[in-house]
Structure 1
Amino acid sequence: MTNADVSARLAWPDDATSIVRVQLARWRESYADLVPADELEADGELAERWATVISSPKDARMRVLVALERADVRGFALVHPCYDPDADQVADGEIGEFVIDPGHQREGHGSRLLQAAVDTLAADTFTRAVWWVGSTDDVLRGFVTESGWEPDGAHRELAAETGETLKQIRLHTAIG
C-alpha cells in the first residue's frame, strides 16, 4: 500500500454509515457488557446521529475525522472543546471518541488519525488536549502515552444502562 492509499480527513455526512459500522464492531468486541443489545443493532439510528453531528455540530469546534484506506473508513475521531468542570473552555480541547476498526488495527490508521485530531484541535486554537480512556484498556493507553500523553490524575466512572460501570482515566498533552 502506498501513502496515497491511506489518509485522514474531516468526515462527510455520507461517512456516517461507515462510522457506525466501525463503532459497532468496536462496541461488540470491547463493550458488549456495557452497551444494551438493542443498541448494538441500531445502526440506522446511530447513522442519523452521526450525520447530524457531522453536518450540524452543537459547537463550531466540534469535528468528526475519519481514517481512510482508499475510500474505506478504517477509523474515526470526534474532537471538541473539553466540557469537564475543571477545563479551561478556551484552551482545552478533547478527543471525545477515537475508534479504529478492530480488523484494521496496527496498520497506521490510529497514528494518522491521532495526528489529524491533534492538528484539528490546534487549528481551533486549543493549547491542551485531553482524552478519557478506559482504565483497563492497556493497548489504547499504551498507544496514547507512547505518543506523548500523560495522566493528569483525574478519573471517573460512567454507569452503563446494563448496570456495569466503565472506569476511565484522563490523559493530557500540550498542543499548538
Structure 2
Amino acid sequence: MADAGVHTATAADLSEIVRIHRETWRLAYAQLLPQEVLDTLDTDEAWALAVQQGAVLKATEGEWTVGFVVASKAPDDEVAKADGTLPADAETTALVSVLVEPRWGRRGHGTRLVAEAARRLVETGATRGIAWVPEADKASKNFYERLGWTGDGTVRTLDAGGRPLREIRVSGPLAVRLDD
C-alpha cells in the first residue's frame, strides 16, 4: 500500500469530500434510499462549514483522498435517550461519522480516521463517541463493532423521501487501537 495518512481537511479538499460522500452513498445506500434523496445530498456549503470548524479529517493513500470523518461534540438531540432526557455524559459525548470509498475499503483508512478523530476529541474533553447507522447497513455496523462500539438501544426512523429509514445509534469508547 502507498503511504496512508490522516490530515485535517481544508477548503481545497471540499470538492473531493463532496464527491466521496455522494458517490459512496449512491453506491452503498441505493437499496435503502430513493434516488431523489440520493440526488439531493448535503450541499457544498454544509461541508464548507464543517471543514471551516475543523470537524473534518481526510484519509489519504498516496496522492488520493479516499475517505473522511466528521467528528465534533454531539448536539443534545443526537445524544438524548429515547425518552428525551440527556445522559450524565452528554457534555462530553462526540458525534462521529466516517466514510471511506468502497474501492479503498479494508485497508485501515476508516480505523485510522476514527483513531485520529478520537485522539483529538479526547484532547478537548470528550469521553465517548456515538454514531448513527442505517439498521440494514451491515458493513458499517461491523466496522463500529470492531472499534468496540455497540448499539445502545436507541433507534430513530427518518423520512427518506417518503420511505422510512430506520437507524440505530452505536456508542463506544474514544480509545481506538491501531493494529501494527
TM range (shorter): 0.7 to 0.9
Say which SS state the counterpart of residue 148 (structure 1) adopts: coil
Q: Distance in 2 between matches of 1:142 and 1:41?
A: 27
Please tell me whether the aligned partners of residues 13 and 50 of structure 1 are also in contact (alpha carbons under 8 angstroms): no
| Runs of 4+ that moved beyond 4 A | none
Q: How far has the Cα of 1:51 moved from its partner?
A: 2.0
Q: 1:70 aligns with which of 44, 62, 66?
A: 62
Instruction: Output aligned runs, 1:16-165, within 5 Å.
Output: 16-32=14-30, 34=33, 36-37=35-36, 40=39, 46-55=43-52, 57=53, 63-83=55-75, 84=78, 85=80, 86-87=86-87, 88-95=89-96, 97-160=97-160, 162-165=161-164
Residues 59-86 of structure 1: per-residue CA shift (max 9 Å, x gap): xxx6111111123110011111112233
TM-score scaled by length of structure 1:
0.83
Mapped to 2, the partners of 1:41 and 1:92 lie a distance apart of 29
Write out per-residue CA displacement over residues 83-106 of structure 1, whole angstroms, 9 at most, x where no aligned residue: 2233544211110x3111122111
Paired position in structure 1 for 2:83: none
1:35 CA drift (Å):
5.4
CA distance in 1, matches of 2:73, 2:114: 16
Contact preservation (8 Å) 1:14, 1:51 = no
1:17, distance to aligned residue in structure 2 (A): 0.4
Equivalent residue letter for 1:170: R
**2: CA distance, partners of 1:76 / 1:29:** 16
Structure 1, unaligned runs of 5 or more: none
Across the aligned residues of Structure 1 and Structure 2, the Cα RMSD in angstroms comes to 2.2
- 1:65 match: secondary structure: strand
Deviation at 1:48, TM superposition (A): 3.5
**What is the TM-score normalised by the length of structure 2?**
0.81
Q: Is contact 1:11-1:65 (8 Å) kept?
A: yes
